[in-house]
Structure 1
Amino acid sequence: MAVEPSRGRKVLRGIRNPFYAAQRTFRPSRPGIVHDGQVRRLQLWRTGLGLAAWVGLTVAYKAAVSAADVKAAADDRLDQSWSSVLVLVCTLPLVVGAFVAAAKGPLRRVYLRRALRPLGAVLAVMASMGTSALAMAPELAGFREAVGLPGKIVIAVLCLWSVGFALYGIGLSLVHVFRTADIHEVVPPVLAGVLVWEMALSDVVTGAYPQVPPAVRAAFILGAPVTVTALSWWEMRRLRVHHGLTVRDALGR
């Protein structure tokens, strides 16, 4: 009986605080999951250094020389993060599906059940981004007029809450790879490696960072997948050495 009030307080806190709600939605929380402080710190360092490298590249090659350029660069970075999430959304079912299909016997059912939380995280970030359309899309102007001033206030509050939830959620989704550790601890490093090489290929195809000299551009684009691949290998090794977790054992083989 004592658990229910605590659960109710958490729900209310999530309703009031979009950042707390994002933490509850996008951070892995499976009972018995391995929490490794070194892996967590390295993930945060990787994200911070990636942002610092992008800022340094932008400043060094004068991609941002005015307030308007800074805003455009920030919008570009946000679009890039959103693109990463969209690529991850498309890649996730393929990698998870292959992982589940390769698992033996009853493990398949276990992993399918655990995959519901990552799927919920995907749906949550997509739904939260969709609320901006409700507030700003010209096609929905008639709806906004129909609901009147009270409805517009509700939409505005919902949009503000969703923006905070979505922006923080995008960051957490990239760090925790859509909480796929809830399926198994070995899934996030595998999925992160696939994702980062897909993004590098996308940068090459779309001609990202055109203002940067070709040699520096190539080093910058390849730096991310090489670094993340090395990090993923180190994470897999740490899971094997310190926690006895391997892909072979995860698949029951």
Structure 2
Amino acid sequence: MTSGGQGPYPPPWPPNGGPHPYLPPRAPLWRRLRDGEWPPTRELLRQLGPRRGCLAAPLLCCAWPLFFLVLTYPLARSARIRAHAVFPPDGHQRLQDPQVLRVQQIRAWIALAASLLILSVYGTSEDWNEMQEQFVFRLVLTPWLLLLTAPLVLVLLFRLASAHRRTAMRAGLRTAVRAVLCYFGAFTAVPLLVLAATYLGRDMNAGVLTPLVMPALMLPALWMLFFVAFSSATVVRTAFSTTRVHAALPALLAGLLVWELAGINLAVSGPPPGPPLIQLAALVAGPLSVSAVAWWEIDRLRTRHGVGLRG
């Protein structure tokens, strides 16, 4: 017995409700959100409480931001969980190559830095606004280009593959078709839900409750919009889980899509700002670098994993 009368062992938990001494400290909120660990709404509000004065001040100055956060964050979190359950971000990667992933990330950061540098030196305010519009345009257009391009590449791979390999590819093709139907079903459901909510809200004689009825009717459309947004990143990166059909298919699609997007951007928005030599480099360097990395990935699949285009 010790002098405090607590026995020879210390208490399992520290006094005053402190954290357990043997548990690692939790990461900051911004890092958890960045890494995809979205906490529940109650924990989020507790993290943004009075102890986080710099974060809570904008919310406490007006009730609408807090109301919007409480209303939309649970929808976004639920849609994100469901989107990752239907389209697993890492479920498609049967053959992971850390060096390829590292090179892809470095190439993406260099391309972003080069675009920002060109805009900073030669761009105008209209060019900056156009860059934001192009980002949204690509995000919406890329899944549809995938839907049109993937069947052509699949036909080519089926013709190259042996008869034994075609049987295994057909089994993986069913998973890709289900992913396509699920994604574009959700994509189509967004405008239909908006139209249905608008039609119901217009016909309902809610009187003073109209400002509350319309947001409530829009909640399904908002949830579906979050689902499509969170699914799009995975769908574009995994090419509708087509790795199950052929391990080289996402790389082939990436090499083709980047040239299609470059041609569409040139036709819609025109060349980037700057002298002719800078414009030519900005137009060609991006697609060439993506195609080079994609071809290098296909070569590593053949040399390190024995996966060639013929099977």
Alignment TM-score > 0.5, same fold:
yes
Cα deviation for residue 130 of structure 1 reads 2.7
CA shift digits 1:190-244 (9 cap, x unpaired)? 1211211222222333353454443322211211210011101211122122222
The 1:53–1:151 alpha-carbon spacing in structure 2 relative to 1, beyond 3 Å, is farther
The 1:70–1:226 alpha-carbon spacing in structure 2 relative to 1, beyond 3 Å, is closer
Q: Identity, % of aligned pairs?
A: 24
What does 1:1-253 align with in structure 2 at a 5 Å threshold? 17-24=78-85, 25=87, 27=89, 29=91, 33-64=94-125, 73-136=131-194, 141-145=198-202, 155-209=217-271, 211-248=273-310, 250=311
Instruction: Decide which structure has the larger Cα Rg and report it.
Output: 2
Q: Secondary structure at the match of 1:245?
A: coil
Gaps of 5+ in 1: 1-13
Amino acid at match of 1:20: I
CA shift digits 1:92-141 (9 cap, x unpaired)? 1111122123322243232122122223333333233334313545x973
Amino acid at match of 1:130: T
Instruction: State the alpha-carbon separation in 1 of the partners of residues 165 and 292 from structure 2.
Output: 28
CA shift digits 1:66-107 (9 cap, x unpaired)? xxx866642331112322222122101111122123322243
Amino acid at match of 1:141: T
Instruction: State the alpha-carbon separation in 2 of the partners of residues 92 and 224 from structure 1.
Output: 21
CA shift digits 1:148-198 (9 cap, x unpaired)? 879855652333333333223322233223322121211111121121122
Q: Secondary structure at the match of 2:294?
A: helix
Q: Is the 8 A contact 2:272 2:282 kept in 1?
A: no
The 1:115–1:81 alpha-carbon spacing in structure 2 relative to 1, beyond 3 Å, is same
- CA RMSD across the alignment: 3.4
The 1:73–1:205 alpha-carbon spacing in structure 2 relative to 1, beyond 3 Å, is closer
More helix by share: 1
Gaps of 5+ in 2: 1-74
Q: Which has the higher contact order (CA 8 A, sep 6+)?
A: 1
The 1:36–1:17 alpha-carbon spacing in structure 2 relative to 1, beyond 3 Å, is farther
